Amino acid sequence: MKSIVILISGRGSNMEALLAAGLPARIAAVIGNRPDAKGLATAAAQDVATAVVDHKAYGTRAEFETALAAEIDRHRPDLVVLAGFMRVLGDDFVRRYQGRMMNIHPSLLPAFPGLHTHRRALEAGVRIHGCTVHFVTPSLDNGPIIIQAAVPVRADDDEKSLAARVLAQEHVIYPQAVRWFVEGRLFLGADGRVLLDGAGIPEGALLVPAPEQSGATLRALAESG
């Protein structure tokens, strides 16, 4: 059975989704970079080993990452999962786990990499927003994409409401991506794109706004905005 180490910085809602997913893998440990990360208590309550590698205890990022790698490697994971881990990782650290480290980003990459994705999506006026699970590479938010989920942007959305709908989809697609990995179904093609063994090609398209909406409905949406 493959083993997983999860890295968190806060409450770890994606970590909770992974723990609840019944994955065919062993969650070897949850590691936080902050002693007050609430997700550590959640993991411990489910008898998952926890550890803290506090980034503030180290003088340089390199020293912190050396200590973090030592703690990760102690558990011999097949996969490292970043679940709200709020530290930018250096190139050497990323290369150490390349091809076996995943992250989830709250946008439809390559759109809106970095921070404040929901605000930027609203400011840009996009009709569809979402989230992306990808393999981590030295280029920030630019690794091979595994799975994405899209949600419509509503006329009355603010950052909070849009973020909540995206987060609900994060909790769906992250466990799915991890499940595919531990089942041995993910492969990198020669072009660097992720291939999924046994995946079908979905038909149709998601149109937002939906063309069947009446003129009266569209006017009501415009007036509410």
Residues taking part in catalysis: 105
Query: Interior CA angle at 137 toward 13 and 76, to 5°?
Result: 65
User: Is residue 106 within 8 Å of residue 203, measured between CB atoms?
Assistant: no
H-helix segments, the chain: 13-20, 38-45, 61-74, 91-96, 117-124, 159-182, 215-224
- Give 166-212 as a DSSP string: HHHHHHHHHHHHHHHHHTT-EEE-TTS-EEETTPPPPPS---SS-TT
Nearest to 110 by CA among 149, 152, 84, 143: 143
Residue at token pair 């280029």: 139
Closest among 80, 74, 170 to 117, alpha carbons compared: 170
Q: How many helices (H) and strands (E) does the chain have?
A: 7, 9
Where do we find the tokens 């992306």? 132
